[in-house]
Structure 1
Amino acid sequence: MNYFAHLHIASITQTSWVGNLLGDFPVNANSLDADLLQGWRLHQQVDVMVDQHAASVEYRSMPRNGRRRFAGIVQDIVMDYWLIQNWSRFGGMPLDVFCEQAVSGLMLDKERSPERLKNMISSLEADNWLSTLGTTDGVEKAIRSIMRRWRYGEYLQDFVDDLPNVIEQAEKPFLALYPDLLKFVDQEMKKAEATHSLG
Structure 2
Amino acid sequence: MNYVAHIHLAHVSKTSLLGNFMGDFVKGQAYRSLPDELSRGVQLHRKIDTFTDQHSSVLRLKRNFPDNIRRMSGVVLDIYFDHLLCRYWEKYSENSLEQVLDRFYQELEHSTTQLSGRYSQVKQGLLEHRWLVTYQNLENCLEIFFNIEKRLSRQVSFAEQSYQYLLANQADIEEHFLSFYPELVGYTHSITHSNV
Question: TM (normalized to structure 2)?
Answer: 0.87
Q: How many residues align?
A: 193
Pairwise CA distance, 1:21? 1.8
Q: Which runs of 5+ in 2 are unaligned?
A: none
Query: For residues 174 and 49 of structure 1, do their structure 2 counterparts lie closer, same or farther at Cα, with a shift above 3 Å needed?
Result: same
Query: For residues 120 and 167 of structure 1, do their structure 2 counterparts lie closer, same or farther at Cα, with a shift above 3 Å needed?
Result: farther
Alignment of 1:10-159 (within 5 A): 10-27=10-27, 28-64=30-66, 66-114=68-116, 116-152=118-154, 154-157=156-159, 158-159=161-162
Pairwise CA distance, 1:78? 0.5
Name the residue aligned to 2:177.
Answer: 174
Name the residue aligned to 1:183.
Answer: 186
Secondary structure in structure 1 of the residue aligned to 2:62: helix
Query: For residues 126 and 172 of structure 1, do their structure 2 counterparts lie closer, same or farther at Cα, with a shift above 3 Å needed?
Result: same
Query: For residues 167 and 125 of structure 1, do their structure 2 counterparts lie closer, same or farther at Cα, with a shift above 3 Å needed?
Result: farther
Amino acid at match of 1:170: I
Pairwise CA distance, 1:142? 2.1
Q: Which runs of 5+ in 1 are unaligned?
A: 194-199
Distance in 2 (alpha carbons) for counterparts of 1:153 and 1:9: 33
Distance in 1 (alpha carbons) for counterparts of 2:124 and 2:71: 32
Contact 1:23 1:43 in 2 (8 A): yes
Name the residue aligned to 2:6.
Answer: 6
Q: Which moved more, 1:167-176 or 1:106-115?
A: 106-115
Distance in 1 (alpha carbons) for counterparts of 2:72 and 2:107: 31
Q: CA RMSD in A?
A: 2.2
Deviations 1:49-91 (A, max 9, x none): 0011111012112254743232111111101010001011012
Q: Which moved more, 1:93-102 or 1:27-36?
A: 27-36
State the identity as a percent. 25
Q: Which moved more, 1:13-22 or 1:51-60?
A: 13-22
Q: Which moved more, 1:103-112 or 1:83-92?
A: 103-112
